[in-house]
Amino acid sequence: MRDTNLTIAELGHRGDGIAHSEGGQVYVPGALPGEEVTAEVSNGRAADVTYIKTSPDRIEPICKHYESCGGCSVQHLAQEPYLDWKRGLVVKALADRGIEAEVAPVVPSEPGSRRRAVLTAARAGRTILLGYHEKASHKMVDISECPVLVPEIVAGLRGLKRLCVELMPKKGELRVNVLSTTNGLDVAFDQADSKYESKFAALSQLAVELGLARLTINGETLLEARPPALDMGGLTVVPPPAGFTQATLQAEEALCDLVLEGLGKSKKVTDLFAGVGTFALRIAKSASVHAVEGDAAANKALDKALRVPRGFKKVTFERRDIFRRPLMKAELASYDAVVFDPPRAGAQAQAEQIAVSKVKTVIAVSCNPATLARDLRILIDGGYTLQKVTPVDQFLFSPHIECVAILKRE
């Protein structure tokens, strides 16, 4: 290990600066393209970095926890090059699969817009820390602010910590899922101390005092003062505790607009990995929809939402593990469009079936450009034309990016 002079050539897919040295690539946390540094290098990683020349694109991070917190990786990069970098992640992922396509400018995200967070609580002696892990560490950062989260969650941090005091296990960490809804915070604790049942009355009183909409502990809903509702295209949906929802309302609306634009005049659509109906409920205003989702709680939430008459087209739903049982070619024959929004692992098996089908329009939504590119390659090889890919920056200051891809079969 010795001091090495390095010039940062590019920004890596995780937000680290990358320099090229005689020994190979060196990853320099926090560095930006064009910057010159000296650092101690070991196993391709830089430490004890000293800046000789800084980039004009470097800005002051907006969070006081930024240097230690691992929640964000690129707060120090100006807006325009930041969005260019995120778009570049998508372009590179497609290029790695030999795909050339129009990649639109990134739909940006605003600070203070993230309505869903997963926090961690841990003990530090007699103190409870609540926040995120440090960068590349198991140590905790006890946050008092977070410029990414909606103000309602930030304002609730102190109250959440009071609940953590009552629920901390003797060993290990406590997971805290928080969702800001139209009726207040929906809070779900996981890995809580098993003896919490003896504190039902005190916990319920505290939840009421804190104004929580719902409190769930280890999968059991202890209190629901008000339905923790989300507005999805004019229809009220109550997601299951700690269930999947789009991270920001602005991104959800942008994704839905892109999906609807891609569907055009499609009349019969199947929405795969449908969740609680984020896309299906909006599609149902103009087309019949069959929603397929493997999670029973999400199916139940969608069923409950559909019990309120809204003048929609026909909406049906099915519980099905699409990874194990993708919709087959014959099952897809009755649809003129397919929408799929899988987890980060993508939807390879389902893409293979779509590729041999005659479905005219396919809309692929993904939070992982690498698996999206793999699935798009399958569809393109099956005869689809990739018309457009639009990145949506749902995960501000992080290396993650959401995408909507529109494909048509001539």
Binding residue ranges for S-adenosyl-L-methionine: 246, 273, 293, 341
For the chain, give the number of residues. Answer: 410
Question: Shortest CA distance to 212 belongs to which of 245, 178, 246?
Answer: 178
d(CA 80, CA 172): 41
- Angle at alpha carbon of residue 6, lines to 2 and 9, rounded to 5°: 150
Active-site choice (69, 146, 367, 403) = 367
Q: Are 115 and 153 in contact (CB under 8 A)?
A: yes
Provide the token pair at 376.
């798009």
Question: Shortest CA distance to 154 belongs to which of 67, 64, 251?
Answer: 64
Q: Are 111 and 396 in contact (CB under 8 A)?
A: yes
Dump the DSSP string for 306-346: HTS------EEEEE--TTTSPPPHHHHTT-SEEEE---TT-
**Can you say which residues are annotated as belonging to the binding site?**
246, 273, 293, 341
| 367 classed as catalytic | yes
d(CA 353, CA 137): 41
Active-site residue set: 367
